[in-house]
A = this chain, B = another copy of it.
Amino acid sequence: MNTFGQIFRLTTFGESHGVAIGGVIDGCPSGLELDVEKVQKDLDRRKPGQSHITTQRKEGDKVEFLSGIFEGKTTGTPIGFIIRNKDQHSRDYNNLREIFRPSHADYTYIKKYGRRDHRGGGRSSARETIARVAAGAVAKQLLQNIGVNIQAYVSQVGEVEVKKSYLELDLGLTESNIVRCPDLETAEKMIARIEEAGHNHDTVGGVITCVATGAPAGLGEPVFNKLHADLGHAMLGINAVKGFEYGSGFAGTRLSGSEHNDVFVKDGETIRTKTNHSGGVQGGISNGEDIYFRVAFKPIATLLKEQHTVDSSSHEVTINPKGRHDPCVLPRAVPIVEAMAALVLADHFLMNSISKL
């Protein structure tokens, strides 16, 4: 299904080599001053060809808003938008028409739908996330109105990882380098690691960490739409994601309860927690502390080297893709993670506003 959210809802459409990718945001309250430049800026952060460690494909990826905005503000009616596809070398894909590429969605789409648009991965292409980034950029602006800020960064590439907690980093440095890692020394190693993968015609995975500051207490709708469950749902829906953890995550399973519990303390007039193993969410509801989580990305499946596989006639074949592909998805996935986090938080902010009389 292609609709995300309960109140602030995004519906998307579009294939990699179709006419356009687009979406409809429904449930955005009226009166939000919308800065279209900021939306475009996030699209540019996701765009291919932005640095030498991403694919060199050129795509304009200019968003066109079609409705729901009047004289610079949202009107409460649905916000439709499209991004036209360009630079389509669709014929390049003819030889892949009947091939099931390893660890791609070619085989499963055929099993499910009986047919597929094979060009560039069709609907299963990560190009589809353009619509999410555009909508997320709208959600971000809604959240900024209430003081919520979302910042993601690359915290691991292959075995190269940032050893520090996000609290020890200056997240303002994230955009200062092409890999989007605020730990500058590690950033250089990551870039080298990605270059190495590229040279080997191979790919490499990694982890993105995301932090939301300023979220009020109260966001989350137990028992099935706990805040972290909806965040996890959003992140796992991003292409190539294999895992999600928040707060202490998998590492927290090794602590004892007395080490793990976040003790409440008074901080002037408000109540805070001394530690934040909870990742800002307790019982599925935000408690006012920073919300933070980690998202695992597998190495991209498209390799520019020979691989064995099977085609739709069950013949064993060998493929050797050429073309322009990312050796590592992480740098371009940072705005996608932020966008999905923004969609979840905006939705929960609206839902929470009707929790009590």
Contacts and interface: CB of A to CB of B under 8 A. Distances in A.
Nearest to A114: B356
A38 to B, nearest CB: 17
A26 B7 contact: no
Given A22-B80, A113-B355, A256-B299, A236 B233 contact: yes
Q: Which 9 A-B pairs have the closest CB atoms?
A: A105-B283, A243-B245, A203-B257, A13-B80, A108-B285, A233-B233, A257-B299, A76-B113, A111-B217
Interface stretch (A53-61, A181-189, A305-313): A305-313
Contacts of A257: 197, 202-205, 299-303
Interface in A202-227: 202-207, 217-218, 220-226
Given A263-B102, A308-B263, A75 B122 contact: yes
B207 A253 contact: yes
Given A22-B80, A29-B354, A68-B13, A1 B256 contact: no
A285 B116 CA distance: 14
A296 interface: yes
A202 B250 contact: no
Nearest to A7: B354
A255 interface: yes
A250 B242 contact: yes
A237 B4 CA distance: 17
A142 B354 CA distance: 13
A242 B233 contact: no
30 contacts: A1-B224, A3-B224, A13-B68, A13-B80, A15-B77, A18-B68, A19-B66, A22-B24, A70-B116, A76-B356, A100-B271, A102-B261, A105-B282, A107-B264, A108-B284, A108-B287, A109-B283, A112-B352, A205-B252, A224-B237, A229-B237, A232-B244, A242-B250, A243-B245, A245-B296, A257-B299, A260-B298, A260-B299, A261-B303, A271-B314
Contacts of A76: 112-113, 115, 355-356
Nearest to A272: B310
